[in-house]
Each structure stands twice: as C-alpha cells, then as structure tokens.
Structure 1
Amino acid sequence: MNTPAAAASGPRDGAALAELVGDALAHAQGHADSEDAAEIRAITDAMVRLLIGAPLHSDGKLTVVSLATEAGLRRNKLTHKHTGLKDLFYALVKARTPVPEALPDSARARAAKQQKDLARVRAERDELRGQAQLLARIVHVLEIENSQLKETNAFLEQQVAAQASVPDLTRRRRRP
C-alpha cells in the first residue's frame, strides 16, 4: 500500500490519492464482500487512468459516466452504491482544475475600458443599422414616387401631343 507522503507529491497527486484511497477502502472491506472490493479496485484504477489522462475504455472526460465506463461498471454503481468514491472523484477533478490568477489592477482597468468601448461600438453599430434601414426605406419611397412622376409626365406629354391645336410654348421658334 502507498504511503500518504508518496501520494502527496508529484504531478499526479490526484491519481496517487485515488489509488491510496482505493487501497484503503479495499483493505477495509477485507473479506466482507469480494465483489465490492473488486468494484472499488476497478473504480479507483479507472480514477487513476482518467486523472493521468490515459483512459483505456472511455472517452477520457472527467465525468461519472466516463468513470463508470472506464471501470467497466454501470453508472448507478457510482451514483447509488459507491457515492463516496464518486464524491472523491469530483473533488479530485475540482482540485485538479487550475484556479485562475487574479488580474492586476492595470489589466482589470484595461478590461473595463475595453468593455466600455465594446458597448459604445455596439451601440453605434446598432444606431447605424437603424439609419441604414431608414435610408433604404426612404430610397424605396423616392423610387416609387419617381416612377409615378415619370408615368404622369409621359401621360401629360401624350395629351399635349394629341392636342396639336394648342401651341407648344416650351419650344422656341427659330427664325430663318
């Protein structure tokens, strides 16, 4: 069995801890139920493989489903029977995730300024989109009015041409 000192050092602390806990649980179970001891051993071995990133039977995700698949057990064995191992696995996964460092004040100020600039630019973009839509509607209305005026003008020119007795005052006569 591993010692706690050996489990607490190295880059794979979570895997070593899982192995240590699994050994302790299997030893504590002793001769009570060899099936439980085998399940505990399979679960802890699966924890170790998942935590070091070397899965054999699952997709390698750090979830209970992957842990159960890796251990060759059904998920309900972890969610109902071996809840302590499930909780240990989630605790090791959470402890394994790196905690983001606090941003320095200058970076925080720069991020706040960038967020304000982004909000301003988005508002300006939205305003320009509205103006573009308004201008498109205005152009459409003007095109319709222009088309109607051209039709009216053509109709009036036809009427003027039909009435030859009315002199065209818009034309100038050229004197020879």
Structure 2
Amino acid sequence: MTGTRVSGQAEKALRAAMERLLAGKPTRTDGRLIKESLYREAGVSRATMNRAPDILTEWNERTAATGARTPGEARRDTELGEVRRQLKELKRERTQLQGRLDAAATVIAALHHDNAGLREELAGRGAVIALDERRASRTETIGPC
C-alpha cells in the first residue's frame, strides 16, 4: 500500500465501494462508474479518495476495461443493439413484402381489366349456346359414329 495516505478503514470502504459499483450493486449511489460515485458509495469525502492514489489507479484501470459502463448499462446496450438488428431485419422484410404486394396488385389489376374486356366481348355476341345442345344437333344430321 505504498501510495495510500488514508486510514485502513477509508481504504477498505473505498475498495468495497469499488467492488459494489463494478458489480452493479450500489447501495448509496445510482451506480454510474464515475469517481463521484466511488467516494459517495464509500461514504468518504472526495479529498479522502484523492489521497488514495493506488485505489484511484485501480479504479481508472478497471473502469476503462468496462468502457465506464455499469453492468446494467452494458446489458441495456447489448439489448439495444439486438433490438436495432431486429428492426433492421424487419424493415428489410417489410420492403420485400411491400414489393411483392405491389407486384400482386399490378397483376390483379391487369387480370381485372382483361376479365372486364372478355365480359364485354361475350355480351356483344348474343346468346350463349351450350355445347351439349350443339353436339346433339350435329349427331342427328351426320349420324352415329
């Protein structure tokens, strides 16, 4: 403990506070990984914390490794990344489905137009004769086959 110029009790409190904060289980603060949270979580003054350079060095190293994010923030960021990935995939799917829907609507419109034209053509021809009646009249004139 060469650079520590604080009492053993203050050092112990700072180390315990550091562990709680890094574990995401603060008892006195909001859990942000900043020095203010460290000394408040430890229940010591900022001046006392500043007199413990070994602890501050360890704090800086360990918070740098976490990107200065609490475990809750890291979990939130991971979940947010997953939600963004899912949103991107859903947007891609929606775009594909919209394209298919537009193509289907175009085909349906073309078929409707063709159907309407055929109905008009049939209406202009007059009466529709059933094939069975026509065949029956032909066999009587030609004879049985």
Class of the TM-score when normalised by the shorter of the 2 chains: 0.3 to 0.5
Higher relative contact order (CA 8 A, sep 6+): 2
TM-score, normalised via structure 1 length: 0.35
TM-score, normalised via structure 2 length: 0.42
